[in-house]
A and B are shown apart, each in its own frame.
Chain A
């Protein structure tokens, strides 16, 4: 048993998970949604084992580090975090029909990590700058934030769809019949944005503390830092926009989708298009 086998299995499990949630939502058939939940938890367990094994393998190779240090490892962790945040959320609100987007994002992250030529999946040793306990705190917190925003993106999209295609009085029929009401979706989205905002803030803070101990500056306007600040500002705007009558609802949903666009750019765009301290891709 190797970590790469387990992580390949995870990719397939996320694929089926997405299929179940999608078909369950489209056909309004609860057992399919339940299958989605089961597939999601199964994928998570296999993936957790895979990540653990990769950690152990890095020690066997003599490098010994948490598997959070390069593009591949961070993508795997992102897919893990999206799924666990979604499943805990699902369990708390007792609604199953919201899993399509999170499952799809988890699947895409794994698929991209496994099949893209630009992502190297071999275990690499840590360069001196990454040798810090802040690495774990920084990556985990940032990705919890990003993942909450991924789930929030799905909720915003569903909210807008709900607003566009159904009338509130006619809740239980139509394609979106199993979805919660628009006002519930709005509230869920707000909760996830606030949760993501909390973790993104802690992520930026741990990054700043780390940069201060590695380079002596807690903020240097490096592109990655700046883009995480841009993302932070957009979500701060989402939180405050709820206080304005004209913005609450659709405008806020669009703004949180824009926020997720910034998350994606912070992660992929900065790595591939802009250069700076954080470019995994260049190392």
Chain B
């Protein structure tokens, strides 16, 4: 692809776009934390006035992190990343595979970090001394094909050039994992009273419910407190039942979920709900009383009448009148025509405490704990974890590893009867440490190469054009 001609490609491969996207995403996220997320248009209008409220709703600023334009920014960042990688990775790979070529001393002296030492030692003695000194400071020297004299090279950490690409790849992996999770998984919640079992999850998105291939029973729920009154532990003892058989029995706590068939149950919250109520029905004609115990939301037949009765709902304080149960009643087999009425438990004389034609008195209500669980399936989570590991490794190695190169040239200067040793080095990171080591090598060489009768002080040259 010819990048120079195509302005779209040029834009997509530019770091400038990356920068703009980073800053735009940051700015959008700031808005997302300042504006009320999840507020509906009425709330927005009440808080910000009709004009601004409508505008906020139009731009979806009340659901910013899930709206289209925010996703588009993310998508653009991904495109930028992919384009950048396609643009640069081949160059990096070529660099990684490129064999090192020899440099002459003139070229080496152009390096920011370089130096030359002249010695009266003959070439045959200089070479082993240089090899030894480099071996002690940097590592073994590999000889290169040189036109004249000797040229050697030492290199470590070439692979660290790849880490930037791994970092970029990891971001794509994480986003792919998140995408997979949102399309292939689900998230919802399930409330279970003690002793109850269910296989239905109420999904967080919308009002729909989902049937699991197994059911969950909560045998016991316990909550304990510190003496300061702060909660100490919530615990649900769960049992999974599949095809009528118990397949798993485990307790869940906050931070200790239960996973089965890729579906995970998290302890989220708890509360109390009605377990059952004892009621007394009085028929209008006779004074005969019927006593019944109604479990919560389970229909019971009224003896002798054939009608059904059940508790549809319960409130601890119904419109300021205290406890109340919502009693549904109807004929067997005609579930659709059931009607319901609120019965005030704490106002037994209330004239509306009537169902069908019976007068109702509630003698006892029994409550039970329920446990609230998050239920989730996320097949993409492993990709996300994998991306996290890649990202950590890549940034860690980017910080830690450095691509270091050292060249040595040894030439004979016939006119002056000298052997000239030229050194040059370059490091992609931590130039300060590299320079210190480089100077150490130079000092060592100067000492060793002059430790001979025919000595002369070495000419040294270090240019240091900034680190």
Contacts and interface: CB of A to CB of B under 8 A. Distances in A.
B221 to A, nearest CB: 13
Contacts of B376: 216-217
B321 to A, nearest CB: 33
Interface in A123-150: 124-125, 127-129, 131-132, 134
Interface in A167-211: 181, 183-184, 187, 191, 194-195, 197-198, 201-202, 205, 208-210
Interface in B390-443: 391-392, 395-396, 398-399, 430-432
A280 interface: no
B395 A194 contact: yes
A150 to B, nearest CB: 18
Nearest to B268: A215
B399 A131 contact: no
B266 A226 contact: no
A178 B384 CA distance: 47
Nearest to A259: B26
A128 B395 contact: no
A209 B255 contact: no
Interface in A195-250: 195, 197-198, 201-202, 205, 208-210, 212-219, 221, 223, 226-227, 229-230, 233-234, 236-237, 240-241, 243-244, 247
A200 to B, nearest CB: 10
A164 B256 CA distance: 55
A134 B256 CA distance: 12
Interface in B245-285: 253-257, 264, 266-268
Given A124-B228, A184-B467, A244-B16, A233 B388 contact: no
A127 B266 CA distance: 16
Contacts of B388: 205, 208-209
A244 B15 contact: yes
A221 B37 contact: yes
B25 interface: yes
Given A128-B253, A205-B391, A233-B25, A223 B398 contact: no
A215 B266 contact: yes
Contacts of B395: 194, 197-198, 201
B264 A216 contact: yes
B254 A226 contact: no
Chain B interface size range? 35 or more
B233 A125 contact: no
Interface in B3-31: 15-16, 18-19, 22-23, 25-26, 29-30
A128 B230 CA distance: 9
A10 B388 CA distance: 37
A93 interface: yes
Given A198-B396, A244-B19, A128 B255 contact: yes
Which of A128, A209, A215: most chain B Cβ within 10 A?
A128
Interface in A226-283: 226-227, 229-230, 233-234, 236-237, 240-241, 243-244, 247, 262, 270, 274, 283
B374 A240 contact: no
Contacts of A229: 29
Nearest to B66: A221
Contacts of A216: 187, 257, 264, 266, 268, 374-376
A234 B21 CA distance: 11
A187 B15 contact: no
A125 B26 contact: no
Interface residues of A, number: 52
A127 B466 CA distance: 53
Interface string B340-355: 0000000000000000
Contacts of B29: 226-227, 229-230, 233
A128 B232 contact: yes
B15 to A, nearest CB: 5
A247 B399 contact: no
Given A131-B254, A194-B399, A216-B376, A202 B19 contact: no
Contacts of A129: 254-255
B32 interface: yes
B32 A234 contact: no
B226 interface: yes
Given A125-B226, A125-B232, A274-B33, A247 B19 contact: yes
A208 B257 CA distance: 15
B19 A241 contact: yes
A131 B15 contact: no
A183 B399 CA distance: 19
A125 B225 CA distance: 10
A205 B393 CA distance: 12
A145 B396 CA distance: 13
Given A197-B395, A198-B396, A187 B467 contact: yes
17 contacts: A128-B234, A128-B267, A131-B233, A195-B399, A198-B396, A201-B391, A202-B392, A210-B255, A216-B187, A217-B187, A219-B178, A221-B32, A223-B33, A226-B29, A230-B29, A240-B15, A274-B34
